[in-house]
Amino acid sequence: MITSNKMKRWIGWLIVLMILLLAISFLSLMIGPVRIPLTKSISLLAQKLCFWKSYPLENTPAAVILFKIRIPRLILGMVVGAALSSAGVILQGMFRNPLVEPYTLGISGGAAAAVGLVIVAGLSGTLTQVIPLAGFAGAIGAAILVYFIASSGGRLTIPTLLLTGVIVSFLSSSLIMLLMSLAKGEELHGIMFWIMGNLQETNLSFIITVSLIILIGIFISFLFARDLNALVLGEEEATHLGIEVERTKKILFILASLLTGVAVSASGVIGFVGLMIPHLIRGIIDADHRFLLPASALLGASFLVGADLIARTIISPRELPVGVITGIIGGIIFIYIIRKRKVEFRW
């Protein structure tokens, strides 16, 4: 039967993507200033998982590096990559354009400005949830601002939307620079480090909060996969297919802002992940959002973990912000898509 064939193909690809994620994850656990061999990582992980708290954790440097540094970083890379790609899928589906994503729409910038504000105000230490909440608030503020400015002329067009996104990004980065010039020494360092996009975060309860919000956000987005399939036909046609377009758009906007805001609050501004990954999956495998969403989340996770691996090893012992790597790769792909779309109008 045809249904099961499509299903089989999807599941097959999802398994491939999971294996890829697993492989990259182990690589990122092994490689670094201190090399931890594969067997060692696996045995340490097995110990931790099997004996959990009943067994005192081995107190070797390898174990400390693995559990205190590399695993938190790996988890953060996975959820941030997945969140940004999923937000990209949602926004691209809503606006029927492959150049739209959290970064190009200024949503990441808005989130960053709000988080910067909270850090400078000295509120960051109060509660684990304050920072992600600030990220979400900034993201949704920027999203609403961009949407209303871009659609104020009556009809919303993609160039206006992108241009407005760029302007909101400029505004946000000016605000961040203002905050930085007002900040005291240690805060300044905190903002600087975070703003460039990096995954060094060791506060476990923060990582768990962020991961949970992102996983829930992706799950809810998945429930709207069919609505996104209808929306790519256009808003009127989606209405003809029984979608309550205005309500659905609001929910999707909130979801994309939530995913972006929380990801940015954890890792700073990491651009273009949400642009590249969905484009790649759509082009190579399938454009159906029921597949596109989970597949992009998986590939986004692998991509960011891989990019982070490059960022922290390429000029070792020093580290690059991972945003630099994604920015360079993503910028090139952005230009490529623009050039290609002149010739043919297809995703």
Partner 1 sequence: MVGIDKDILLEIRNLCSGYKRKNILKGIDFLVRRGEFWGLIGPNGSGKTTLLKSITKILPAQKGNVFYNKKDIMKIPAKQLAQKIAVVPQVSVFHFSFTVEDFVLLGRIPYLPRFYLEGKNDYRIAEEAMGLTETISFRQRRINELSEGEKQRVVIARSLAQKPTLLLLDEPAAHLDIRHQLDIFNLLEKLNREKGITIILVSHDLNMASQYASQLILLNEGKIFARGSPKEIINEENIWKVYGVKVKVTAGIKGNPLVNLFK
Separation of alpha carbons 310 and 305, rounded Å: 9
Among 26, 47, 96, 280, binds partner 1 (CB under 8 A): 96
Binding to partner 1, residues 174-233 (CB under 8 A): 223, 226, 229-230, 232-233
**Of 124 and 296, which CB lies nearer to partner 1 in the complex structure?**
296
1 binds partner 1 (CB under 8 A): yes
The number of beta carbons lying within 10 Å of the beta carbon of residue 16 is: 14
Contact range with partner 1 by CB under 8 A, out of 1-9, 32-40, 62-70, 311-319: 1-9
Binding to partner 1, residues 240-299 (CB under 8 A): 240-244, 282, 287-288, 290
**Of 48 and 290, which CB lies nearer to partner 1 in the complex structure?**
290
Residue (of 95, 84, 25) closest to 265 by Cα position? 84
**Of 37 and 283, which CB lies nearer to partner 1 in the complex structure?**
283
Return the ∠ at Cα 21 (arms to 99 and 197), rounded to 5°: 55
Separation of alpha carbons 146 and 103, rounded Å: 12
**Of 23 and 237, which CB lies nearer to partner 1 in the complex structure?**
237
| Distance in Å, CB of 287 to partner 1, minimum | 5
Hey, is 59 helix, strand or coil?
coil
- The residue type of 107 is I
Among 2, 284, 315, 343, binds partner 1 (CB under 8 A): 2
Among 8, 68, 250, 346, binds partner 1 (CB under 8 A): 346
* Helical ranges in 52-157 per DSSP H: 61-64, 71-95, 107-120, 130-151
- Helix 289-313 and helix 2-30, axial crossing angle in degrees, nearest 10: 10
Separation of alpha carbons 16 and 21, rounded Å: 9
Residue 270, φ and ψ in degrees, nearest 5:
-120, 110
Cβ 211 vs Cβ 79: under 8 Å: yes
5 binds partner 1 (CB under 8 A): no
How many of the chain's residues bind partner 1 (CB under 8 A)?
A: 30
| Distance in Å, CB of 232 to partner 1, minimum | 5
Task: Give contact residues for partner 1 (rule: CB under 8 A).
Answer: 1-3, 6-7, 96-97, 223, 226, 229-230, 232-234, 236-237, 239-244, 282, 287-288, 290, 344-347
